[in-house]
C-alpha cells in the first residue's frame, strides 16, 4: 500500500476500532453515488457541452449560469469536471483492480513457494519498491508512451509491488493457520486448499487496501496527466483541466481550484468508506 | 512463529556481519534496479538514433556510423556488460539529447532538488508537530484528524496551484516566477511538505497514544512531572523513535513529488530532468535517475535500519517478522 493510502487508513487500523461518525460516512457514500451517476449519466447534472468552445463566454467567473465558471475557451468548468469523472474513475478503479489481482497472484505465489522461489520473488518486489511509486509510473510511461490506457497500466504497475508484499505476508500467516492444517490433514488437495482456503483469506485485507488505493490511483493518474502524459486536450480529464488552469491562475482561479476540490473530495470519500470497511473487518476478527 | 525467531537470530548476530549483509543487500538492489532498468528501457519503441540526431535527417550510412560510435550495434549482452563495467567506475553514460555525461547532467540539477527536499522535510516536521499537539487536546483532536485527512488526500500539484493563487497572485507574499533566493523556495517546499506532514502527524499521534498507555508514564507522573514535561521529555521521544522507520518512504515520496512540484513552480531540478528525459526518451538519463533512486533509497533505508536498531532493539525483531 502506498504510504499515503496507509496514512489514510491508519486511524481505523490501530486505534481500537473507532467507527467513523455516521454523518461523515453518509456524506462520503452520497458523494461517491453522485460521482457514479455522473459517470453513467453526465447529462443529468449539466446541460452544457464539455468540449464545445465559445470564445464569447471565455473566463467567466462562477455565477448562476456557470457554477464553476468557464475556462479560456468558454467551456463550462462544471460540465468538464462532470464529464471528466469517467476518465479519472475508470483509471482509478481499473488500475486498482489490475494491481489487486496481479498483486494477489504474485504475492501468494511467493508466500506458497519454497525458499528459493520466495526469495527470488521477494527480492524482485523489494527492488521495484525501491522506487517511489510516482517515479515508477513515469518510467512505465517512458516505455509504453503517453495516453489514457498508458496511465491506467502505469499506475497499476506502480502499485502492484505493494499489494504483492501484503498478499505474501498474509499468505505466510494463513498458510500456518489451523484450518489450513486441518484441510491438509483431511486429505484436501493442495490446489483446492489454496483456492478454497488460502486465497479467500488473503483477499480480505487486500480488498480493504484496494478501497484506500483507489484514491491514490486517482491522484497519481491526475498527476501524470497534469504533466501531459495522459489524454490529449480537449479531453475533460481532471488532471488535464488543472494543467490548463495553471496558466490562468492570476485571472481565473476557478479553472484550477474546482477540479482539485472534486479530486480531493473523491479521495477523502473513498478513504472514509475504506476506514469503515476496515473497522468492520477488524471488528469481525476480534 | 519460525520466521520471527529466525529473524531475531539473524538480527542479534555480530554487528559487523550484520552490516556486511546489509551492504550486500544494497549492492543487490542497485544492481537489480540497473539491470531491470537497462533491459526494460530497451523496450522503448523507435530507434535511439532518432533521439540522438534530434530533428535533422541523415543518410543510412551516417546512422550506421552513429550506431557504431555509441556502441548500439553490438549485441545486447555486450552493451549490458559494458554498461555494468562503466557503472562500477561511477560512469553513468552519456545523454542522447544533451551529449553530456549523465553524471554531470544529474549533478548540475541535484542542488535545487536537495534544497527543496531539505526545506520540505523541515516544514513537514514543524507542521506535523503542530498538528500532533493540536490532536492532543480532545476538543481539537477532530480538527487535527480532518487536517491530516485533507493533507494526505489532496493532490500535491493542486496544493501547489492553490498556494500560488493565494500567496503568489492573491496576497503577493511570495514571487510566482522567480527561481532563486529563499522566498522562491518557500511555496514549493510547503507544497511538497504537506502530504508528508499529514503522514508524520498521524504516526506521531499514534506513537504518543501508544506511549501514554505504557507503564512508565504512571511512574513519571507519580514523580510529579507536569504534562508538558511528560510530553517533551518522555512520550514524544518514544513516538519519534517509531516514526524513524518511515524515513525511507518519505524520502522516496519527496523524490517522486519533486517531479510535480518542480513542474508546477517551473523550477529546475532532478524532477524536471527526469520528466524531460522520459518525454524525450533519453534512455541513458532515465537509467541514471533509476540507479540514483535505487542508491538513495537503499542507503537511506540502511541508515534508518542502523538508527532504529540502536533506538529500539525490539523494532528490529518486529521488522524482520513483517
Residue B58, min C-alpha distance to chain A (Å) = 25
pLDDT tens-digit map of B21-68: 888 888 988 998 899 889 988 888 777 777 777 767 777 788 888 887
The closest of B63, B98, B287 to A131, measured between CA atoms, is: B287
Contact across the interface for A226 and B263, Cβ inside 8 Å: yes
What distance in Å separates the CA atoms of residue B23 and residue B26, rounded to the nearest whole number? Answer: 5
DSSP string, chain A: --HHHHHHHHHHHHSTT-PPPHHHHHHHHHHHHHHHHHHH-GGGT--S-SS---GGGTTPPS-SS-TT-B-TTS-BHHHHHHHHHHHHHHHHHHHHHHHHHHHHHHHHHHHHS-HHHHHHHHHHHHHHHTS-HHHHHHHHHHHH-SSHHHHHHHHHHHHHHHHHHHHHHHHHHHHTSHHHHHHHHTT--HHHHIIIIIHHHHHHHHHHHHHHHHHHHHHHHHHHHHTT-SSPTT---HHHHHHHHGGGTTT-HHHHHHHHHHHHHHHHHHHHHHHHHHHHHHHHH-
Instruction: State the average pLDDT for chain A.
Output: 84
* Angle at B87 (CA atoms; ends B85, B91), nearest 5 degrees: 110
Banded pLDDT at B189 (limits 50, 70, 90): very high
Go through chain B and tell me how many residues it has.
322
pTM of the predicted model, to two decimals? 0.84
Among A18, A131, A160, which would you mutate to test the B interface (most chain B Cβ atoms within 10 Å of its Cβ)?
A: A131
Banded pLDDT at A9 (limits 50, 70, 90): low
SS3 of B101, please?
strand
Is pLDDT at A144 greater than 60 in this prediction? yes
**Touching A: B residues 251-270, CB under 8 Å:** 252-253, 255-257, 259-260, 263-264
Contact across the interface for B41 and A260, Cβ inside 8 Å: no
Cα-to-chain-centroid distance, residue B321: 24
Banded pLDDT at A12 (limits 50, 70, 90): very low
Q: What is the mean pLDDT of residues A168-187?
A: 87
Residue B247, C-beta contacts closer than 8 angstroms, at least 6 positions apart: B300, B303, B304
Q: Does residue B220 contact residue B230 with C-beta atoms inside 8 Å?
A: yes
- Residue from the list A172, A259, A264 with its beta carbon closest to the beta carbon of B3: A172
Residue B88, min C-alpha distance to chain A (Å) = 19
Least confident of A5-9, A31-35, A96-100, A265-269: A5-9
Residue B146, min C-alpha distance to chain A (Å) = 10
**Touching A: B residues 66-95, CB under 8 Å:** none
Q: What are phi and psi of B14, to 5 degrees?
A: -65, 140
pLDDT at residue B178, as a whole number: 62
Using a CB-CB cut-off of 8 Å, the residues of chain A touching B271 are none
What's the CA dihedral at A237, A240, A77, A247 to 10 degrees? Answer: 180
Banded pLDDT at A17 (limits 50, 70, 90): very low
pLDDT at residue A4, as a whole number: 63
pLDDT at residue B184, as a whole number: 82
Q: What is the mean pLDDT of residues B172-189?
A: 78
pLDDT at residue B322, as a whole number: 44
Cα-to-chain-centroid distance, residue B160: 19
Q: Is the Cβ of B145 closer than 8 Å to some Cβ of chain A?
A: yes
SS3 of B94, please?
strand
**Touching A: B residues 37-56, CB under 8 Å:** 37, 40-41, 43-45
Using a CB-CB cut-off of 8 Å, the residues of chain A touching B206 are 10-11, 14-15
Residue A63, min C-alpha distance to chain B (Å) = 20
User: What domains lie within chain B, and their CATH numbers?
Assistant: 102-321 (1.10.3720.10)
Go through chain A and tell me how many residues it has.
286
pLDDT at residue A151, as a whole number: 92
- Residue from the list A15, A142, A253 with its beta carbon closest to the beta carbon of B278: A142
ipTM score for this prediction: 0.84
The closest of B132, B166, B171 to B151, measured between CA atoms, is: B132
Q: Secondary structure of B203-253 in the HEC alphabet?
A: HHHHHHHHHHCCHHHHHHHHCCCCHHHHHHHHHHHHHHHHHHHHHHHHHHH
pLDDT tens-digit map of A205-217: 899 889 988 998 9
The closest of B8, B31, B286, B9 to A126, measured between CA atoms, is: B31
pLDDT tens-digit map of A38-67: 888 887 777 777 777 777 777 777 877 778
Amino acid at each position: 500500500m502506498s504510504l499515503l493510502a496507509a496514512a489514510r487508513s491508519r486511524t481505523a487500523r490501530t486505534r481500537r476500532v473507532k467507527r467513523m461518525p455516521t454523518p461523515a460516512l453518509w456524506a462520503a457514500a452520497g458523494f461517491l453515488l453522485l460521482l457514479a451517476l455522473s459517470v453513467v449519466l453526465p447529462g443529468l447534472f449539466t446541460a452544457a457541452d464539455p468540449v464545445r468552445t465559445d470564445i464569447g463566454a471565455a473566463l467567466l467567473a462562477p455565477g448562476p449560469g456557470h457554477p464553476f465558471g468557464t475556462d479560456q475557451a468558454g467551456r463550462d468548468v462544471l460540465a468538464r469536471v462532470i464529464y471528466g469523472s469517467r476518465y479519472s474513475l475508470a483509471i482509478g478503479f481499473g488500475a486498482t483492480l489490475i494491481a489487486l489481482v496481479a498483486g494477489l497472484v504474485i504475492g501468494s505465489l511467493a508466500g506458497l513457494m519454497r525458499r528459493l522461489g520466495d526469495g527470488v520473488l521477494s527480492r524482485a518486489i523489494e527492488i521495484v519498491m525501491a522506487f517511489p511509486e510516482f517515479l515508477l509510473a513515469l518510467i512505465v510511461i517512458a516505455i509504453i508512451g503517453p495516453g489514457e490506457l498508458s496511465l491506467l497500466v502505469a499506475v497499476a504497475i506502480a502499485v502492484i509491488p505493494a499489494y504483492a508484499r501484503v498478499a505474501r505476508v498474509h499468505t505466510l500467516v494463513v498458510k500456518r493457520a489451523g484450518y489450513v492444517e486441518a484441510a491438509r490433514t483431511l486429505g484436501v488437495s493442495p490446489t483446492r486448499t489454496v483456492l478454497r482456503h488460502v486465497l479467500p483469506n488473503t483477499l480480505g485485507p487486500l480488498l480493504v487496501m484496494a478501497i484506500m488505493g483507489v484514491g491514490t490511483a486517482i491522484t497519481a493518474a491526475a498527476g501524470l496527466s497534469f504533466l501531459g502524459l495522459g489524454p490529449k486536450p480537449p479531453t475533460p480529464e481532471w488532471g488535464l483541466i488543472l494543467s490548463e488552469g495553471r496558466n490562468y491562475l492570476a485571472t481565473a482561479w476557478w479553472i484550477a481550484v474546482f477540479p482539485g476540490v472534486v479530486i480531493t473530495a473523491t479521495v477523502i470519500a473513498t478513504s472514509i468508506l475504506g476506514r469503515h470497511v476496515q473497522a468492520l473487518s477488524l471488528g469481525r476478527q476480534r | 512463529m519460525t520466521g520471527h525467531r529466525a529473524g531475531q537470530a539473524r538480527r542479534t548476530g555480530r554487528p559487523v556481519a550484520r552490516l556486511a549483509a546489509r551492504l550486500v543487500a544494497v549492492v543487490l538492489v542497485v544492481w537489480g534496479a540497473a539491470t531491470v532498468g537497462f533491459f526494460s528501457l530497451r523496450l522503448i519503441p523507435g530507434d535511439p538514433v532518432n533521439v540522438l540526431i534530434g530533428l535533422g535527417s541523415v543518410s543510412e550510412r551516417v546512422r550506421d556510423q552513429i550506431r557504431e560510435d555509441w556502441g548500439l550495434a553490438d549485441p545486447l549482452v555486450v552493451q549490458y556488460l559494458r554498461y555494468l563495467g562503466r557503472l562500477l567506475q561511477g560512469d553513468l553514460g552519456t545523454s542522447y539529447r544533451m551529449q553530456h555525461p549523465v553524471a554531470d547532467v544529474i549533478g548540475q540539477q541535484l542542488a535545487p532538488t536537495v534544497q527543496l527536499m531539505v526545506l520540505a522535510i523541515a516544514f513537514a516536521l514543524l507542521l506535523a508537530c503542530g498538528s500532533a499537539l493540536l490532536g492532543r487536546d480532545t476538543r481539537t483532536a477532530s480538527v487535527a484528524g480532518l487536517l491530516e485527512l485533507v493533507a494526505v488526500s489532496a493532490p500535491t500539484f493542486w496544493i501547489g496551484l492553490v498556494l500560488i493563487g493565494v500567496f503568489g497572485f492573491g496576497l503577493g507574499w511570495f514571487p510566482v516566477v522567480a527561481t532563486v533566493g529563499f522566498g522562491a523556495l518557500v511555496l514549493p517546499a510547503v507544497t511538497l511538505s504537506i502530504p508528508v506532514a499529514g503522514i508524520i502527524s498521524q504516526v506521531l499521534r499514534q506513537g504518543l497514544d501508544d506511549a501514554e498507555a505504557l507503564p512508565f508514564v504512571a511512574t513519571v507522573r507519580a514523580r510529579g512531572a507536569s504534562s508538558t514535561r511528560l510530553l517533551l521529555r518522555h512520550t514524544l521521544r518514544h513516538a519519534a523513535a517509531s516514526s524513524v522507520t518511515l524515513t525511507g518512504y518519505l524520502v522516496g515520496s519527496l523524490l517522486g513529488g519533486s517531479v510535480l512540484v518542480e513542474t508546477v513552480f517551473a523550477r529546475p531540478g532532478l524532477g524536471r530532468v527526469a520528466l524531460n528525459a522520459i518525454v524525450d526518451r533519453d534512455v541513458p538519463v532515465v537509467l541514471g535517475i533509476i540507479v540514483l533512486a535505487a542508491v538513495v533509497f537503499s542507503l537511506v533505508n540502511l541508515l534508518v535500519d542502523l538508527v532504529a536498531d540502536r533506538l529500539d532493539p525490539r523494532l528490529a525483531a518486529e521488522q524482520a517478522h513483517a
